[in-house]
Amino acid sequence: MLKESIFPILEFDSNKQAKLQPSSIIQKTPVPNACVITFFKEVINKKLESGELEQIGTSPSETVDIPIYETKYNGCHVGLVGGFVGAAGSAALLEELIASGFNKFIVCGGAGVLKKDIQVGHLVLPYSAIRDEGVSYHYIEPSREIECNPDAIMAIERILNQEKIPFIKAKTWTTDAIFRETEAKIAKRVAEGCVTVEMEAAAFFAVSKFRNVLLGQILYGGDDLSGIEWNNRSWISREKIRTNLVDLCLKIAVEL
């Protein structure tokens, strides 16, 4: 049922059926249960060059085709896919992966930090996301924030603690507008408890909840928005951080 509103973004329709369904364009295929979505293309490229990956599918679009890979971790098969930057593309990619047959997901990527004491590479486990994007409102009724699946949170926490990897569990701010992160908005999000800002988490949480699949996310501290001026902190190499984080997510994914 469609709820009327003067703002189109708030006109939520609870009808689960849409004119175009993912299954209309994506065929279910033999794929592993678990999949890692990462925004670190250089890590995927290195694994591809070393022969660790086998392409098992493609997520096509008018501008870019995203390969869907399969790899092994500790003898277990797991999917590995490059992420689509932004909430809308991420939601569509996740829909297609679910339609293909994956049902457990770990997402890893970087995020801007809103607290200076979060160092480059420090891991953040988002338990909730402020919904300052548009996609989530087409999947879940309007609310200020959306929570990550608690079962996914517990699974990630267990592995991080087991591996003695330091992390913080916190709220993140998902925005569509990378160039509209104003001083006033940043201050408000910090007051709400956000420690990071990124462009996908709320969409991932919403789609996975709507489709009833398990999904968790790990962010690492990247550029710094906590000061008077933006600081990309580019003097710190992130190559090893990204490689290790993808391998960590593969480990978590096969144990979900």
The list of the chain residues with pLDDT below 50 reads 223, 225-230, 233, 235-237
**Model confidence, pTM:** 0.93
Interatomic CA distance for residues 197 and 69, integer angstroms: 28
Q: CA nearest 120: which of 224, 43, 211, 228? A: 224
Residue ranges with strand state E in the chain: 34-38, 54-59, 66-73, 76-82, 104-113, 123-132, 145-147, 167-175, 194-198, 214-224
Hey, is 192 helix, strand or coil?
A: coil
Q: What local confidence, expressed as pLDDT, does residue 229 receive? A: 46
Per CATH, is 30-254 categorized as 3.40.50.1580? yes
Q: What local confidence, expressed as pLDDT, does residue 76 receive? A: 95
Interatomic CA distance for residues 229 and 248, integer angstroms: 33
Q: What local confidence, expressed as pLDDT, does residue 228 receive? A: 44
